[in-house]
Chain A
Amino acid sequence: MDELVLKEQIVDEAAMSRRAFLRGTGLLLGFALTGASTESVFAAPASRVVENEVTGTFAPNGFIRINPTGAVILVIPMIEMGQGVYTSLSMLLAEELEVNLDQIQVQHAPANHALYVNSIIGIQNTGGSASVRAFWTPLRQAGAVGRHLLIAAAAKRWNVDPATCRAKDGVVFDASGSKHLTYGALAKAAAKLPMPPTANVKLKDRKDFNLIGTRAKRVDSAIKVDGRALYGIDTRLPDMKVAAVAISPVLGGKAKTVDEKAALAVKGVRQVVNIDEAVAVVADHMGAANKGLQAAAITWDHGPNVKVSNADIVKQLEEESKKPGAVARNVGDVGKALAEATQRVEAIYQVPFLAHAAMEPMNCTVHLQKDRCDIWVGTQAPTITQSQVAELTGLPKDAIKIHNHLIGGGFGRRLEADGTVLAVKIAKHVDGPVKVIWSREEDIQHDMYRPYYLDRLSAGLDAAGKPVAWTHRIAGSSVMARYYPPYVKDGLDPDAVEAAAEPPYALPNIHVDFVRVEPPGVRTSWWRGVGPTHNVFVVESFLDELAHAAKQDPVAYRKGLLGHNPRVLAVLSLAAEKAGWGSPLPARHGRGISVQFAYGSYTSQVAEVEVASDGSVKVKRIVCAIDCGMYVNPDTIEAQVQGGTLFGLTAALHGSITFKDGRVEQSNFDSYLPMRIDEVPAVETHLIESIEAPGGIGEASTSIVSAAVANAIFAATGRRLRSLPFDTDSLK
């Protein structure tokens, strides 16, 4: 059913040309005469947001709203989940609108495909490191059009040529500078002027940027250091109840027995809702709800997936990966080149299922009424969520009101609407608003996991050690086939092979294919770094194996294959230089390098590790060189490199979700280990100045780090680790 909704949505999108989207997003802006709010909506009580919407004043029809009191409200189309998008996208708008960041208020955009679609993704989704890339031009155009209209309104009032006026810090000045009017004073008049054609509105030259390229302060920091920031889990509404939930521990199971009487005997418990796939205990507060859920002593009919185990899943992958798959790339004649090669290298790599384990556990607040359904949630996919709730409730899409929130860590988890769908199923039985919160255990055990992949590779080297043949077969679940089915053509999932189909190296004969293998009883989904997170580990580790087989230095070997690729070569050289590549290290210490082109950005990392005699791996230093084209905020980039690196490193060192008897074996932060402050290496960022189009940054470091560390472990120990997380026992 979920697939059907998505398919329909994509058909709708196909009916509108991409050109129309861009024109629309570039020009749509409205000057709504809303009441003055001195506080950004994402730190205001949820009830105020509702009230505004009900009265019709919280219905932005574009990116910019300026009210007569002078408040400048920027509606940000993508959701903030830590990546700094509220700041970077505000900077794009503010640069051209000519306002300071501290003059603006930021609002979450509502679900609205026509206004807020991400042109790269094709849906109003926040993901794929695509926000700055997609909105770089439209938001600057929206700001420029706003500035143009405000200047025109002032010029008209003064009866002067608009070309003689200028705008700065939210004020329009005449030629002499003696007359000035604030944007607030001009808002009403500007709203009545005709829209100028985009071609008539010139965007600033890079040399004239005041904000873009600076370390502007994050717009969301102040409310995040004193507890004011509101996440979905902080939603509070009049007469709201809260609910604890237990989901069938085996996918497809149903509740068998529920001791409702015992649950209802707990003080503060109001109701027990049994929807078969899950049981919710509704109460006045979560303390009572959790206690009631314990008292309910639920037993389960586990259903058909009760025998699912990791061992069987891996066995299935091993078998299926022996068969040819959908061809992602085939250049030259790999068979002939392999047969003629001087040396042959073969390897199998494996990466595990991974949970997202964002700090804010899954939660959703629903108020389902006869003719509308209000949803308070932090979502990366508001329009998909809206469609799925419409399908579930039978209400029209525009009756589904998505009140988006700051997300306490997304990492791809909130691209899925399953948490909202479950909450709506529960809310169908509850009179009034109900907030459903998953325990950490439910969150980890009912995640939608990064797929387990098994990769088979072979390469042939010529007498000089150059790779004359390269084959790579990827076997695993296809997230794309479920989530965006039209993007999968002839069985080829472009995400599953991203950064594997086109490695940056000169490979004259290459064959890459994908075998889709869906594990039973396991839901898979997007995880920070998507396809490249798995593929860069495999490709960059295997390339290192080839350098070793060719008896060459890993950096020199790569350089020899990158002559045609100057931007990759530049980041590789910079990372190696800054890391002191080649300088001596003590025994059991090693450096490893990796390089990637993904998300529109070029990245290279050098990891330095120490492997103790007990096998434990200490990552001491990570040096990252990055070329992401023109950049918006270098401080945000450094933050994303630091955090993204740790996200990938956590998985490489600790991350694994395993199944036994149909159940996930891990449950909380004591069995699905996060990296903690005492494990953290120093992460250095070196940014290359560039005038190329902007690239994405939120995932680049996550996908590149595990190969750098694996290669460093090899350098330190001579042991090649081809599976994640690293098996440190093998390093003793």
Chain B
Amino acid sequence: MAFTLKINGTPHEVDVDGDTPLLWVLRDVLGMTGTKFGCGQALCGACTVHVDGAMTRSCITTVDSVGESEITTIEAIAQTPQGAALQKAWLELEVVQCGYCQSGQIMSAAALLKYTPKPTDDDIDAAMSGNVCRCGTYQRIRAAIKHAAGV
């Protein structure tokens, strides 16, 4: 079945079953590999994208549920003020190690800052505890979110 997805401001036509997860449409059909596969069950956050600005796990979001919504991925998050500030903070504080989870971390953090521009530690815990990092960069993720938010 054909769907037209609005991704990073551009419409994309895809022809897949309606129950196909958005993650695989992004990665395999459209070749946008910045969004990562980690668990397939919304347990790790590696696949986080924004759907109409809201933090969304693309591994359990079927393509037929997206409709007309605007999808934003890591490839375009720099175009939002939160995304740009976070990427800069990530570089200044040297957050990354293996880097695999960091697309999802930054997408979750960008959604947090959009709605909570000056987050507390509790806000950060609540928004970010769905994102797993096995390298253990959490201490720097927390510091970088605060740095980007100026708190």
Contact = CB atoms under 8 A, between A and B. Distances in A.
Given A409-B98, A677-B129, A678-B125, A285 B138 contact: no
Does more than half of chain B's interface fall in helix, strand or loop, or is it mixed?
loop
A243 to B, nearest CB: 12
B57 interface: no
A201 interface: no
Nearest to B33: A234
Interface in A649-688: 650, 668-670, 674-678, 680, 682-683
Interface in A400-426: 406-411
A357 B134 CA distance: 8
Interface stretch (A24-32, A555-563, A640-648): A640-648
A285 B136 contact: no
B17 A359 contact: no
Nearest to A230: B33
B37 A669 contact: no
Given A221-B91, A226-B87, A285-B25, A642 B139 contact: yes
B102 A677 contact: no
A409 B135 contact: yes
A226 B27 contact: no
A290 B17 CA distance: 12
Contacts, number: 196
B147 interface: no
Nearest to A676: B129
B96 interface: yes
A286 B28 contact: yes
A227 B20 contact: no
Contacts of A669: 39, 41, 43-44, 132
B75 A227 contact: yes
Contact of B98 (A360, A642, A675): A360
A218 B91 CA distance: 9
Please classify how large the interface on chain B is, using the bins under 10, 10 to 19, 20 to 34, 35 or more: 35 or more
A526 to B, nearest CB: 16
Given A287-B25, A668-B39, A227 B19 contact: no
A73 interface: no
A221 B37 contact: no
A440 B139 contact: no
A675 B17 CA distance: 35
A34 interface: no
Contact of A359 (B19, B40, B100): B100
Given A227-B34, A227-B103, A288 B17 contact: yes
Contacts of B39: 440, 668-669
Given A286-B37, A669-B39, A225 B20 contact: no
Contacts of B111: none
A642 B137 contact: yes
Given A231-B100, A358-B100, 9 more contacts: A82-B98, A218-B96, A220-B96, A220-B99, A221-B96, A285-B16, A288-B20, A642-B136, A642-B139
Interface of A: 80-84, 217-218, 220-231, 233-234, 236, 242, 266-268, 284-288, 290-291, 357-361, 406-411, 437, 439-440, 635, 639, 642-647, 650, 668-670, 674-678, 680, 682-683
In the complex, the 7 A-B pairs of residues with the closest C-beta atoms, listed nearest first: A227-B34, A408-B100, A646-B136, A224-B99, A82-B98, A82-B97, A643-B136
